[in-house]
């Protein structure tokens, strides 16, 4: 009886919403410090040897970290196919820019060390910087646009229609609130990258990372607070009207949605979710304090808590919405009406129960093997493989 309740259609939809959130948070926690290190590279490393030290802190792990991005995209595709279809179609150029940056990064890692020419290496260093800042900014902008609502509507046969041209859709994403979310995202990952560099490097590189990470933490605190205030007084939220069939067929047009509703009503209806923004603020403040006070492991640990809290606060505020529509609110996608079938969600869950623990164990083993600081002697030793 308990197992039957657990694998009900309603519970499977909720479980996959939680798993999707955890996969995206996992991506931010792991690949996020890779992006932060790329953004910090031109500022914390002044010589070629220092740049090689910085690059080699993430060189052995960045490929494994991107697994979480692939898992998150796969979960969207398989668990919530309407979300995948609508979002990837509407955000096509933005997604292309993100993927281009993520493709440039491995090329930069592999080709930078092929020649000792300073001009050659400086170009690849700029590529690494771009491959960090572009995804961080655009992911934040995307989150801001989801909170604002996206200009699409569904036809009776569930075909998604977006307003405007392709370029118009791209530049239309750059709304003030969305840009603020993008800035918070960039600063958050810079703080996270600084925590990683403090843990993995020493000397001047680590000290510069402390200074820049502390400044980024202050930007995160101010930007996150401003975004919350803006969300409370300047952004209309969404709410489902009437009874919703949590175990009914997936048909977004079957629900009635109200678009004159504060997103922060979620905290009145479910006060316990306030723990998420508290973790965001508290983790960021403690990361700033740890960076100021010379902590080694603690800045990275506190920044992980901050990222977990901030991303969770977005998901919990939006719940049960996945992608609201600001041109036709009744076309908005929720976890109750945009999921795959009961059988698909169950089969996927069984596969996840088997393989996700294996990924976690392997990832933990890799970080255990690679534990320790990267030094200048490591990257200049001809017998030591380095980027």
Flag the least confident range among 38-42, 59-63, 265-269. Answer: 59-63
d(CA 331, CA 319): 16
For residue 170, what pLDDT is reported? Answer: 65
Q: Please, which pLDDT band fits residue 142 given cuts at 50, 70 and 90?
A: very high
Residue 385 has a pLDDT of 67
Residue keyed to tokens 């997936």: 250
The answer on pLDDT for 160 being more than 90 is: no
Q: For a pLDDT cut of 90, what percent of the chain falls above it?
A: 56
Average pLDDT over residues 15-34: 93
Q: Which two tokens stand for residue 126?
A: 């700029």
pLDDT band for 2, please (50, 70, 90 cuts). low
Round to whole Å and give the CA distance between 244 and 257.
11
Give Cβ neighbours of residue 296 (< 8 Å, ≥ 6 apart). Answer: 198, 199
Give the residue extent of every domain in the chain.
2-380
Say how far apart CA 330 and CA 51 lie, in whole Å: 51
CB 263 within 8 A of CB 237: yes
Q: Cβ distance 102 to 66 under 8 Å?
A: yes
Answer whether the bond into residue 191 is a cis peptide, omega within 30°.
Answer: no
Beta strands in the chain (DSSP E): 152-154, 160-162, 236-241, 256-262, 321-323, 333-334
Q: What pLDDT sits at residue 110?
A: 86
DSSP string, 156-212: TT--EEE-S-HHHHHHHT--HHHHHHHHHHHHHHHHHHHHHHHHH--HHHHHHHHHH
Q: How far apart are CA 296 and CA 78, in angstroms?
A: 40
Q: For residue 33, report the phi and psi dihedrals to the nearest 5 degrees.
A: -75, -25
Cβ-Cβ contacts under 8 Å for 308 (sequence gap 6 or more):
25, 29, 279, 283
Q: Residue 383 — pLDDT band, cuts 50, 70, 90? A: low
Nearest to 93 by CA among 187, 166, 194: 166
Please choose, from the candidates 133, 104, 128, the residue with its C-alpha nearest in 3D space to the C-alpha of residue 41: 128
DSSP state of 335: T
CB of 316 closer than 8 Å to CB of 277? no
Longest dimension (CA), the chain: 69
Query: What is the pLDDT at residue 73?
Result: 87
pLDDT of residue 183 exceeding 70: yes
Within 8 A by CB and 6+ apart from 177, the residues are 144, 147, 148, 227, 230, 231, 234, 235
Distance of CA 41 to the CA centre of its chain: 20
Which of 349, 249, 247, 248 is closest to 3 using CA atoms? 349
pLDDT for 88 equals 81
Q: Is the pLDDT of residue 3 over 80?
A: no
Pull the structure tokens for residue 173.
């994403």
Rounded average pLDDT over 24-35: 92
Dist CA 60 CA 197 (whole Å): 14
Summary mean pLDDT of the chain? 89
Residue 1 predicted with pLDDT over 60: no
What share of the chain has pLDDT > 70, as a percent?
95
Per the model's pLDDT, the better-predicted residue between 88 and 201 turns out to be 201
Tokens of 89: 């179609």
pLDDT at 7: 82
Q: Which residues pair with 262 in a beta bridge?
A: 236
CA Rg value for the chain = 22
Distance, C-alpha 214 to centroid of its chain: 21
Amino acid 91: pLDDT: 79
| Greater model confidence, 282 or 92 | 282
Instruction: State residue 138 phi and psi, 5-degree precision.
Output: -70, -35
pLDDT band for 164, please (50, 70, 90 cuts). low
pLDDT in tens, 206-251: 999 999 999 999 999 999 999 999 998 888 889 888 888 888 888 8
**CA-CA distance, 33 to 100, in Å (whole number)?**
19
Query: For 210-219, how does the pLDDT look when each residue is reduced to its tens digit (9 = 90+)?
Result: 999 999 999 9
Q: Which is more confident, 188 or 363?
A: 188
Residue showing tokens 């196919």: 81
- d(Cα 37, Cα 197) in Å, to the nearest integer? 7
**Range 240-264 average pLDDT:** 84
- Of 58-62, 284-288, 346-350, the poorest mean pLDDT is in 58-62
Over residues 162-170, the mean pLDDT reads: 62
């Amino acid at each position: 009886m308990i197992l039957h309740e657990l694998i009900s259609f309603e519970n499977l939809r909720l479980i996959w919403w939680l798993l999707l959130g955890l996969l995206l948070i996992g991506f931010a926690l792991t690949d996020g410090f890779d992006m932060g290190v790329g953004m910090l590279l031109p500022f914390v490393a002044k010589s070629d040897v220092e740049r090689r030290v910085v690059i080699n802190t993430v060189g052995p792990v960045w490929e494994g970290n991107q697994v979480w991005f692939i898992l998150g995209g796969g979960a969207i595709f398989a668990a919530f196919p309407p979300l995948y279809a609508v979002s990837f179609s509407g955000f096509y150029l933005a997604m292309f820019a993100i993927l281009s940056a993520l493709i440039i990064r491995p090329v930069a890692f592999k080709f930078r060390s092929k020649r000792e020419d300073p001009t050659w290496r400086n170009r690849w260093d700029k590529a690494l910087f771009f491959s960090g800042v572009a995804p961080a900014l655009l992911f934040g902008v995307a989150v801001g646009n989801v909170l604002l609502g996206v200009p699409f509507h569904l036809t009776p046969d569930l075909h998604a229609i977006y307003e405007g041209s392709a370029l118009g859709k791209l530049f239309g994403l750059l709304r003030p609130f969305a840009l603020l979310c993008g800035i918070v995202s960039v600063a958050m990952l810079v703080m996270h990258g600084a925590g990683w560099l403090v843990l993995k490097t020493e000397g001047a590189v680590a000290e510069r990372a402390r200074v820049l990470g502390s400044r980024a933490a202050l930007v995160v605190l101010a930007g996150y607070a401003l975004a919350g205030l803006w969300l409370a007084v300047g952004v209309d939220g969404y709410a489902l009207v009437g009874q919703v069939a949590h175990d009914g067929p997936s048909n977004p047009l079957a629900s009635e949605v109200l678009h004159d509703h504060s997103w922060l009503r979620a905290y009145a209806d479910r006060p316990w979710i306030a723990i998420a923004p508290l973790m965001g603020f508290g983790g960021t403040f403690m990361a700033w304090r740890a960076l100021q006070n010379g902590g080694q492991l603690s800045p990275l640990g506190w920044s992980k808590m901050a990222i977990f809290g901030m991303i969770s606060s977005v998901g919990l505020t939006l719940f049960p919405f996945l992608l609201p529509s600001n041109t036709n609110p009744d076309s908005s996608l929720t976890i109750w009406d945009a999921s795959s079938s009961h059988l698909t969600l169950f089969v996927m869950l069984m596969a996840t129960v088997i393989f996700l623990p294996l990924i976690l164990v392997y990832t933990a083993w890799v970080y255990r093997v690679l534990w320790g600081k990267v030094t200048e002697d490591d990257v200049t030793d001809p017998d030591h493989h380095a980027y």
